[in-house]
Structure formats: structure tokens, C-alpha cells
Amino acid sequence: MSRRIAANTVTGSYGLSGDDEVTRLRLRERVGELEARLVELEGAEKKRLQVENELRESQKLYRALIETAFAGIGITDVEENLTFANPALGDIMGYGVDELIGINLSRFVEGEEYNRYQELTEQRLQGFRNAYETRVRRRDGSLINVLISGSPLADEDGEFIGVLTVVFDITELRRAEQELERNKRAYTDQLEAMVRERTNQLEEAQAKLIQSAKLAAVGQLAAGVAHEINNPVGVLLMKLKFLLSVAKRENLTAKAMATLDIAVEQAGRIADIVQDLLNFSRTPTDRPQSLNLNERIHSSLRLSHRLLTDRRIDLHLDLCEELPSVLGDPVEFEQVLINLLNNAVEAMADGGELHLASHAEAGQVVISLRDTGEGIEAEDLGSIFDPFFTTKNFGEGTGLGLSISYGIVQKMGGSIEVESELGSGAVFHIRLPGEGA
């Protein structure tokens, strides 16, 4: 734009008339004016270009904002028909942006939400801005939770022309909240169940303690009775033996002799049992003795003999005669054997076989007790030596037998192990170091 008029190109005034001079001056003045106007116009043009540029930039910024916004943005006319929608609104509702144009907002709301929607629309028409949470139906039929804010739009004269609506999809948020709530509830339930279970366990343990106290009392009673019987039985046996010797001399009938023999034998059995009971209830000494385990086995079997025959259990004994002796308390060791025997008997409610064996192995004595009873469940195998662990009915077992046995064998420097499968019996091995090994 450099249409410059050279004002001084017409120079020199030789031979000009007075009129010419006036015209020349006017011309120059006019040219000056035009030049100034031109400069002014150039400035205005520059300004316009700058404003245009800024406008374009800010339009670009707003478009980018609206197009990339996470929130769905829509503009509706006075009848709430969409006249503008950004891509996010399309995504939220499951439509293409172009498809949304012209759709009435009420299309997305239904049921109870519709009444509320109408109330809010009324507010917006009156120029109030509102924000609320609702559920809307997407094109695919699914219901989603949305947070909506609606701001009324007005023209320059303040006339209502529509609403700017911003929509957030908060379905995931609500789902996560519900999940959290569910987890919280599940956790509380779990905690309550645990507390209940622990309380039950405590109550059971308490009942078991009472039971074992009762057992101890019964044990004491048995010891007292045994003590009382011990002397009369001794006397009875002595007198019977005397009678037998007299009878032999007096030539009694064979039948009478046989009866006397049986009487002596049975009295002998009573004396043995009384002795075993006395041994059993005696407080164990802390000083270990040299024990012949085969003898202890026989002694324990005498005590359990009735139990085995009552239950129709066949006993198979396979004892090694050349067993090294072991160190321990005879009473305590018998207690171990009796506990194992009792368990085996209790596991064979309908009879069965009991194999009791002893052998020496690398300086150790191994005693094995195998039954053909119900066996032990795999998940219980790790717990049966725990104090108070029992699968027996209330009042039938305290769950102390194996834990006491375990403690005794451990004190003797040995170990006790179990092998079993549910339904196919159980075998317990006791290993003890041979004396001097």
C-alpha cells in the first residue's frame, strides 16, 4: 500500500500567474490531508488484522478445549433440543456428534427421573443454574450415572435462548463406591464370623478344661479305690493260693480243682490291674529309669485288654526280643501307649485289627501301632497333636491324649509321627533313643 503522491514533484514557480499560485497551494494542502488519512487507514488496517488474528487464536483455543474436554458439553435451544455437542457428550451417550444435534434432552431421561428433570428444566427457564445427579439411558440401552450442570444462556437483550449443559459420567465412580461398600460389609461380616468362631472356640476350650479337670478327679478317685483294693486283693490271692495247695493234698474233685485254678488266675488278674492303676495314677518321677519297652507294652495292654475284646478287635503283637532299653518314666511311657491304644480302639467302632510292633533301628527303638479304623482326614493331620484338638463328640474326647503323649516322647528325646488316610486306618511310630546310644 505505498501509493505515495510526490507532493514536491511539481516545483518551481517561474512564470505562474497569481491564480495558479493559489491553486498550487490548495493542491498541496489537499495532498497533505490525503497523506494523513492514508496513514490513519494503514494503522486501522493493521489493528484489524491483529484483532482478527487474536480472535482466530482464541477460537482455536476454545475449540480445542471443548473438543478435548473430558466432560460432555452441549448447548440446547429454548425447547431443550441440542444445537451443539462436543465429542465427549457423543461418547457418553453413545451417539455420533452429528446425530445428537436436534435430539431433545428429555429423550435420555425416564421413569422417576423424568419428573425431577422437568422441575429442573423449569428452573433453568427462569434463569437458574442447577447441578444434579441422575441416571440417563445411553443409546445401547444401558443406564449410566451422570452429574449434570445446566447454565441458562441469554442473548444481548437478556432474553433466554437456551442452556449450556455440562455432563460427567460418574458410573464407574458409583460402581467403585458400591464395590467398596460391599467389601466393607463383607469384611465386617467376616470379622463378626471370626469373633463368633473365636468365642465358640474359647467356650469349647473352657468346657474341655472343665472336662479334663473332671477326668483328673476321676483318675484320683480310681487311684484311691485301687489303693483300697490292693491289700484285700493281695490277701485274697494269698488265701486262694493256700486253698489251692491244700486242695491238691486233699484230693478234691477235678471240677473243684479247676474252679480253684480259675479263681487264682482271675484274682491274679485283679491284682495286676490294681497294680497298673496304681502305677498309672502315681505322680511321675523326674528321674528317668532304664525301661524295657516290651514290658511296658504288656503292662499297658493288660489295662486295655477289656476294651479290645469288647470291641472285637484282633490284636497282633510283633515284638523284637532284643530291644535296647530306653530312659524314661515307666508310668509316663505307659500313658503314651494307653492314649494311642485308646485312640485306635475309638477309631474302630465296628472292630478291626490292631498291630503293635517293636524293633531296633540304628540305636533307636521304634514302636509302631497300626489300626484299621476310620483314618484321619488330610487337613487334620497337622492338628492332631495340638492340645484340645479333637474330632470326637462333646464329652467323648478332650483332645489332650496326643498332645500329652507328644510332650512325654519329646521329653524322652524321641519323636512321634503319624501316617494315615481317611478310610484306611492310621499308623503311629514312636522313635526313642536307645540307652547309651
Name the residues that contact ligand ATP, by CB under 6 A: 339, 343-344, 347, 371, 373-376, 384, 389-392, 397-403, 426
What does each C-alpha distance from 332 to 284, 429, 430 come to in angstroms? Answer: 6, 17, 14
Residue from 72, 352, 401, 425 binding Mg ion (CB under 5 A): 401
Q: What's the Rg (C-alpha) of the chain?
A: 54
Smallest distance from the beta carbon of 276 to ligand ATP, in angstroms? 19
**What are the b/e assignments for 234-249, b being 16+ CB within 10 Å?**
eebbeebeeeeeebee
| Residue whose CB is less far from ligand ATP, 233 or 348 | 348
Tell me which of Mg ion, ligand ATP, none is bound by residue 323, counting a contact when its beta carbon lies within the kind-specific cut-off of 5 to 8 angstroms.
none
What span, in angstroms and rounded, lies between the C-alpha atoms of 69 and 63?
Answer: 10
The strand ranges marked E within 155-277 are 160-169
Q: Minimum CB separation from ligand ATP for residue 208, in Å?
A: 8
Nearer to ligand ATP, 71 or 307 (CB): 307
125 and 150 in contact (C-beta within 8 Å)? no
Residues in CB range of 61: below 8 A, 6 or more apart: none
Interface with Mg ion, residue 398, by CB under 5 A: no
Question: Minimum CB separation from ligand ATP for residue 202, in Å?
Answer: 18
User: Would you say 8 or 393 has its CB closer to ligand ATP?
Assistant: 393
Binding segment for Mg ion among 40-48, 88-96, 225-233, 342-350 (CB under 5 A)? 342-350
Q: What angle do CA 424, 427, 430 make, to 5 degrees?
A: 170
Q: 275 or 391, CB closer to Mg ion?
A: 391
DSSP sequence for 45-85: HHHHHHHHHHHHHHHHHHHHHHHH-SSEEEEE-TT-BEEEE
Select the residue whose beta carbon is closest to ligand ATP and give its number: 401
Three-state SS string over 114-137 comes to HHHHHHHHHHHHCCCCEEEEEEEE
Of 313 and 344, nearer to ligand ATP (C-beta) is: 344
| Residue number of the CB atom closest to Mg ion | 401
Partner from ligand ATP, Mg ion, none binding residue 169, C-beta < 5-8 Å depending on class:
none
What does 352 bind: ligand ATP, Mg ion, none (CB cut-off 5 to 8 Å by kind)?
none
Q: How far is the CB of 352 from Mg ion (least distance, A)?
A: 17
Separation of alpha carbons 38 and 41, rounded Å: 5
Q: What is the closest distance, in whole angstroms, from the C-beta atom of residue 401 to Mg ion in the complex?
A: 3
Which are the contacts of 90, defined by CB distance < 8 A and separation ≥ 6? Answer: 72, 96, 97, 99, 100
Question: DSSP character for 255?
Answer: H
For Mg ion, the closer CB: 188 or 410: 410
Give the nearer residue to Mg ion in terms of CB position, either 214 or 248: 214
Q: Which does 150 bind (CB under 5 to 8 A by kind): ligand ATP, Mg ion, none?
A: none
Positions that interact with Mg ion (CB under 5 A): 343, 401
